[in-house]
Chain A
Amino acid sequence: MATVTLKNVWKTYGRDIVLERVNLHVKSGEFVTIVGASGCGKTTFLRMLLGEETPSRGELLMDGVPMPAEPGPDRGVVFQKYSVFPHLNALHNVLVAEEFGRAPLIGHLFGAARRAARAKAVDMLEAVGLGHALKKYPHELSGGMQQRLAIAQALMKDPRILLLDEPFGALDPGIRRDMHALILDLWQRRGLTIFMVTHDLKEGFYLGTRLLVFDKVRHDPQAPNAYGANITYDIPVGRVEPELLDEIRDQTGLPLGVEANPGV
């Protein structure tokens, strides 16, 4: 649905360099997983795609035009937590996306418009397996169900890009496997372009069609922030040899997921 291009992108905060000289081209429909040690700039990278941060230097393009500098409905997002609205039940959490778009003054729909929006919201909730929990408030939902709700919410606007920031990081292994199945299913059926940050190397390999590893190429022990991180591996997933996995793990110090995913 959308291509993303980064041309020589830098991100600096004062004298601290987080990312340097990042070049990337992502085709429409790719499932890009992003791994890296803590503080290596992978979240900053995701926030730039989101529009929450802007590059300090370089160009960030979506479909060849500069990415808008604030979040918008063309890019959906699911965070690890706080993604849903605690004061709305599941149905309204999803319905509100329609109301934001179509009732710019009062933020509520009525009559036929509301019935249509409600039907769409119910369909979406059923697609993520929450058809039975329409009236439940987020605090009454389990962690996995809250993330399903957040995904349903994000997909309501038919975003061109879906950004996932460690969305399954806080979930139990069994629930995580269900969520993997769900996200792969949605990705294939809707032809999404997905960027997903994860801590779990195996998850990265299992889900993605392409794996990016962020790490610092140069190190100055006296000034740890003098050099920024870059993409050190860019692997089309499919050819995964165990040696490569070990190599990345050695370099980034990332844990290999405790729960083995089938298919790796």
Chain B
Amino acid sequence: MKRFINQRPPRAVGYLLGLLPFVLLLLVYMAVSAARLAENPNDPLLPSLATLFDTFWRLATEPSRRTGELVLWVDTAASLTRLGLGVGISMAMGLVVGILAGLIPYAGRTLSPLITAVAMIPPLAVLPILFITFGVGELAKVVLIVFGIAPFILRDVQQRVSELPTEQLIKAQTLGASSWLIILRVVLPQVFPRLLDATRLALGAAWLFLIASEAIASTEGLGYRIFLVRRFMDMATILPYVVWITLLAFLADLLLRTTNRLLFPWYGGRRG
């Protein structure tokens, strides 16, 4: 028999194997839930799949009795706006400052120590400062996301810029390029796919900071909702929301990955 490290599942089997843990988890949940519900039909902790789906459907399609809004979509729109603003601003900052610090020695010497110091500050520790400074509105939440992920993205971009082979920069100079044109035509296009990669990795942290700030002070948003209904142990709302957030995070990741593949066909090949 072949060694385990040499045994590869066929394609179809591979997919099935990947699916297996999900199915198992679902089955375990259903069994435990059914057992608890058999004892007490009003048990709120592990609602049946039908209840979960009904609740999700109600939140998505029926206007709330209190506000007349479609709760799920209001929450989603609010959260995605904050996330989009925070991530977008972080990307812009990361790109501009990262390229400058990575390419221009004077800028690098000036900015690098500051960037390193700021990146060390735990973002949640400054959340109170942000709330005091910017109020409990949207601004503080966006700033928290920026504070949390911009240093990471920025350092990644800076690292990538300083890893560009010197030969390329020399070559560009012998072709008559100014510093500006080197940034525009040589550096920017080559770090852009890396920026998208860094953003993908930072998205998890961005969600964390979003939900944390929504949990503390907000009037709508996905994080706000799950922390609000926690008081009533309303698992029928929390569980579908968590699945929904996971789905949104997955789609955001997929979007960035696909953009990278479509816009920068040379990026994958360069590594091979």
Contacts and interface: CB of A to CB of B under 8 A. Distances in A.
Contacts, number: 88
Given A87-B267, A139-B270, 18 more contacts: A71-B173, A72-B174, A75-B174, A77-B170, A79-B171, A85-B172, A99-B185, A100-B172, A100-B176, A100-B181, A104-B180, A107-B185, A137-B269, A139-B266, A140-B269, A153-B175, A157-B174, A159-B174
Interface of B: 165, 167-168, 170-178, 180-181, 184-186, 189-190, 264-267, 269-270, 272
21 contacts: A50-B170, A70-B173, A75-B174, A77-B171, A79-B171, A85-B168, A87-B264, A96-B175, A96-B185, A97-B175, A100-B176, A100-B177, A101-B175, A106-B184, A107-B181, A139-B269, A139-B270, A139-B272, A154-B175, A156-B175, A159-B174
A88 B172 CA distance: 13
Main secondary structure of the interface of A (DSSP, over half): loop
Contacts of A139: 266, 269-270, 272
Interface centre among B180, B181, B269, B272 (most CB of A within 10 A): B181
A82 B265 CA distance: 18
B96 to A, nearest CB: 17
Interface of A: 50, 52, 70-73, 75-77, 79, 81-88, 96-97, 99-101, 104-107, 137-140, 150, 153-154, 156-157, 159
B272 A104 contact: no
- Best-surrounded residue of B168, B172, B266, B270 (most CB of chain A within 10 A): B266
Contact of A73 (B165, B168, B176, B266): B176
A154 B177 CA distance: 13
| Consensus secondary structure, chain B interface | helix
B175 A137 contact: no
Given A87-B266, A107-B185, A82 B175 contact: no
